[in-house]
């Protein structure tokens, strides 16, 4: 008979955190044997690590933190270029491979097992489930929020009810992740410089050798050094403000049409 091994993949964001509390309240028999796993890139925001510590205290359960074999700084030296949307080696090396290796170790240790992987995808974002499929038959993805019709507002209410609330980084950005990222908007980079100037400087130092060699930096329009020049900051903030106003006008018009 196959053994079942239960894992919840924590990101340090609101949805996976709310799922852990939801399972503790509504699926206690599973929660008791559930393993909380965080794939630690060692490059997340300080607020994320603070939130993980808080989660452990509130849940009374330790979080297993999986780390990559090599640091991001070391991997840059090996790759000799920064990750890009088309060559996302950072995700593979820092998160995907360490997690897959962990799963393999679980199978090796427990023999003939089924891994039930609990994922915090909500009912209002069901399309994302297609991108979280594993191509191995011993992993079964489970979506409790989808099964229970839990949406974004419900997630916020779960976190509010247990008293943990949202991670502090939501005060200035809208998602967790590495402090550096090629997906960051220019405005998000400026916010990083405001809230964590030491991390902004670190990211800037990473891109300098690649720029000197004629390669790509983190942003297609500006180097990080140039981005924080007063004249460029004004342009970026102005563009962001106009875009926000435009989007708000569109939303108001949409409501009027509806």
Domain extent listing, the chain? 3-171, 186-257
Mean pLDDT, range 108-128, rounded to an integer: 87
Looking at CATH, the fold of the domain delimited by 3-171 is given as Rossmann fold (3.40.50)
Residues paired with 178 in a beta bridge: 44
Q: Give residue 257's pLDDT band: very low, low, confident or very high (50, 70, 90).
A: very low
Burial level of 85, CB count in 10 A (0-12/13-18/19+)?
exposed
Indicate if the pLDDT at residue 122 is higher than 60.
yes
* Mean local confidence (pLDDT), 30-44: 96
CA quadruple 138, 144, 148, 151: dihedral positive or negative? Answer: negative
Average pLDDT value over all residues in the chain: 89
pLDDT band with cut points at 50, 70 and 90 for residue 108: confident
Distances (CA, A) of 21 to 24, 121, 157: 5, 14, 11
The percent of residues in the chain predicted with pLDDT above 90, rounded, is: 70
The answer for residues whose C-beta is within 8 angstroms of residue 42's C-beta and 6 or more apart is 67, 68, 71, 72, 94
């Amino acid at each position: 008979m196959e053994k079942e091994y239960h894992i919840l993949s924590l990101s340090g964001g609101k949805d996976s955190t709310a799922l852990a509390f939801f399972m503790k309240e509504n699926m206690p028999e599973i929660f008791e044997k559930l393993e909380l796993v965080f794939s630690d890139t060692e490059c997340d925001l300080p607020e994320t690590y603070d939130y993980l510590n808080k989660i452990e205290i509130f849940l009374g359960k330790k979080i297993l933190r999986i780390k990559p074999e090599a640091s991001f700084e070391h991997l840059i030296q090996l790759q000799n270029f920064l990750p890009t949307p088309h060559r996302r080696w950072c995700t593979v090396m820092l998160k995907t491979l360490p997690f897959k290796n962990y799963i393999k170790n679980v199978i090796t240790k427990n023999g003939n097992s089924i891994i039930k992987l609990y994922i915090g995808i909500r009912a209002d974002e069901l399309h994302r489930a297609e991108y979280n499929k594993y191509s191995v038959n011993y992993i079964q993805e489970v979506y409790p929020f989808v099964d229970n019709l839990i949406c974004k507002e419900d997630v916020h209410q779960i976190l509010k009810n247990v008293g943990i609330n949202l991670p502090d980084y939501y005060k200035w950005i809208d998602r967790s992740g590495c402090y550096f990222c090629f997906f960051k908007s220019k405005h998000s980079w400026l916010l990083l410089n405001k809230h964590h100037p030491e991390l902004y400087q670190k990211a800037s130092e990473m891109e300098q050798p690649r720029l000197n060699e004629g390669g790509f930096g983190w942003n297609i329009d500006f180097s990080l050094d140039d981005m924080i020049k007063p004249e460029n900051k004004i342009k970026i903030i102005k563009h962001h403000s106009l875009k926000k106003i435009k989007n708000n006008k569109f939303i108001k018009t949409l409501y009027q049409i509806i």
